[in-house]
Amino acid sequence: MAERDTAALEGFPVQLTLPVRWGDMDAFAHVNNTVYFQYFESARIAYFERMGIIEGTPSGAGPILASTQCRFRAPVTYPDTVTVGARIPEVGDDRFRMEYAVWSERLATVAAKGEGVVVSFDYASGSKIPLPEAWRAAIAEIESSQLTG
């Protein structure tokens, strides 16, 4: 297994390592494109947990994914292990932009990059709301910590 180039995920304070499962592959013998969005989701939820905003089913303010995209750079296949990094480089009035990177241990490269826009949402009223100050503070702390987990 190749050693991970730590520079490739530098600047991603939330990182998690996931095994590539046999069932993740499709008829073209590589990880199906939909699985990358699951990788992003896992990293996004890990980030939210670090922020302290995941507490089960939201009834008040909570995050909601408004958009997401992926740029595929190299085909990942089984067996492999990926490390998914997440960061928030941009915070707006009612939303923030997340960036993701998927590092393949076997290929020793970033296999995919992605991003998503997350909106602060009031689940009771069904409308977007200003980003809570507690979220802003948590993001600032996480982004300055550069911890992995």
**Full set of structural domains in the chain with CATH:** 6-145 (3.10.129.10)
Share of the chain above pLDDT 90, in %: 86
The whole-number pLDDT of residue 139 equals 98
Residue 76 scores a pLDDT above 70: yes
88: left (phi over 0), alpha (psi -120 to 50) or beta: beta
Report pTM.
0.91
Round to whole Å and give the CA distance between 45 and 53. 9
pLDDT tens, residue by residue, 11-31: 999 999 999 999 999 999 999
Reported in sequence order, the residue ranges of 4-132 that DSSP labels E, i.e. its strands, are 14-19, 61-72, 81-91, 95-104, 109-122, 127-128
Residue pair 60/75 in contact by the 8 Å Cβ criterion: no
